[in-house]
Amino acid sequence: MVRTGAQSYVKYGYESTYGGSATCDKKFGLRDSLGSWSLTHNRIDLPALNQLTYESYAYGTQAGEISVDFALNNPWIFGAFFGAPSTTGSSNPYTHTYPHASNGINKQPRSFQVEVGFNAADTSNSDIVRTLKGCIASTLGITTSIGQTVDCSLSASYGKEDAPATTFGSAPTEPTLDHKAFTFAHAQLKYGGSVVAQVQDLNLQINQTPTLLYGLNSNQAVDAYRQILDITGSFKASLLNKTILEDLLEQVSKGTSGTFSETVGGSPELEILFQKSANEEIKLTGTGLSPTSLSVEGIAPNEPVFENIDWRIKELTIACKNNQTTEE
């Protein structure tokens, strides 16, 4: 019989070293699903004189790409971009903080493993369990809109995969946090310290453009490195005032000095808050904010007027409150 997603699982765990040991027990989120997934083994063709076919071939580097979509209900995937969190607090709630790279330049992104299991559809087939090693996150998109959950789309590159196992593993452990997903009703957006009213949708994109590193004596990656973090986003809201338009026309940031670089580390300029309660929230705070474009949707009788704003920030710090003393 044909396998379906109902007979599959996906889970992940952070590695101790690149491609090293890991315990895959983390759940990405709710309603998780695999998007695209590919593994390539670059072939080196070897043609020969006096014939029209290849005489032989060899294999070069091995590399893979994977994407996972899920509804946000826990913060642990941020470690793939900002390293392990620092945790403070002596009782519930505990605060887990992921600082931006330039605030902790030695905090490299964490490599992780992804385990995907396919249960045998019948006795004529065997279980298939694939373990993707040396995964480095490429992008993380976070979006929500009226009537929807807060949804995430993660893409990653990986440099190692061994032969699949044939024993179906266990499903990922559910976080002991509130199992409910964050939704649009838990979301709030602040621009320049003020709440933006009547927001219809928002999104944030983190891109670190990783590169796999290879060495002699193996066709699998031996390490990876990232480039500059690029953090962008957008939101759609009712046209209520001229603040953002003035910022765009003047080409200034929302900091005290009005320059992109000098606003870093200043007061919060962009804040996205997902809060279920005072004891459970995810707050994303950006500094070095610059709006990059503004568009107004069609204006018609009996229709509200909305503006769409694209923006870029220089630094992002993520602070999460929950009842966990450590990262699950």
pLDDT band at 240 (very low <50, low <70, confident <90, very high): confident
Residue range 75-100: mean pLDDT, rounded: 92
DSSP state of 250: H
pLDDT in the model for residue 211: 92
Q: Which residues pair with 235 in a beta bridge?
A: 202, 309
Give the domain range for residue 240: 5-45+58-322
| Contact in structure between 319 and 85 (CB atoms under 8 Å) | no
pLDDT in the model for residue 2: 74
At 267, the amino acid letter reads S
The model's pLDDT over 100-114, given as tens digits with 9 standing for 90+, comes to 755 555 556 789 999
16 in a structural domain: yes
51 in a structural domain: no
Backbone dihedral angles phi then psi of residue 145, each to the nearest 5 degrees: -155, 170
pLDDT band at 125 (very low <50, low <70, confident <90, very high): confident
Top-ranked range on mean pLDDT: pick from 130-139, 264-273, 290-299: 130-139
The pTM for the full model equals 0.89
Least confident stretch, 15-24, 116-125, 161-170, 211-220: 116-125
327 in a structural domain: no
The model's pLDDT over 211-225, given as tens digits with 9 standing for 90+, comes to 999 999 999 999 998
Task: State yes or no: pLDDT of 282 exceeds 90.
Answer: yes
181 in a structural domain: yes
Give me the percent of the chain exceeding a pLDDT of 90: 60
208 in a structural domain: yes
Pick 32 or 241 by higher pLDDT: 32
pLDDT band at 46 (very low <50, low <70, confident <90, very high): very high
The model's pLDDT over 249-269, given as tens digits with 9 standing for 90+, comes to 775 555 444 444 434 344 458
CA 192 to CA 253: how far, in whole Å? 9
pLDDT in the model for residue 245: 83
Report strand pairing: 315-322 vs 280-287. antiparallel
CA 264 to CA 288: how far, in whole Å? 5
The model's pLDDT over 138-190, given as tens digits with 9 standing for 90+, comes to 999 999 999 999 999 999 999 999 888 887 777 676 666 666 899 999 999 99
Three-state DSSP at 71 gives strand
236 in a structural domain: yes
| Contact in structure between 162 and 152 (CB atoms under 8 Å) | no
Task: State yes or no: pLDDT of 41 exceeds 50.
Answer: yes
pLDDT in the model for residue 262: 36
Three-state DSSP at 270 gives strand
Which of 270, 273, 268, 278 has the alpha carbon at shortest distance from 321? 278
193 in a structural domain: yes
CA 189 to CA 128: how far, in whole Å? 44
Backbone dihedral angles phi then psi of residue 271, each to the nearest 5 degrees: -135, 125
Task: State yes or no: pLDDT of 232 exceeds 60.
Answer: yes
SS (HEC) of 215-236 = CCCCCCCCEEECCCCEEEEEEE
Residue range 300-314: mean pLDDT, rounded: 91
- Per the prediction, the chain carries an average pLDDT of 86
Least confident stretch, 28-32, 40-44, 244-248, 280-284: 244-248
78 in a structural domain: yes
Task: State yes or no: pLDDT of 11 exceeds 80.
Answer: yes
Q: How many domains does the chain have?
A: 1
DSSP state of 78: G
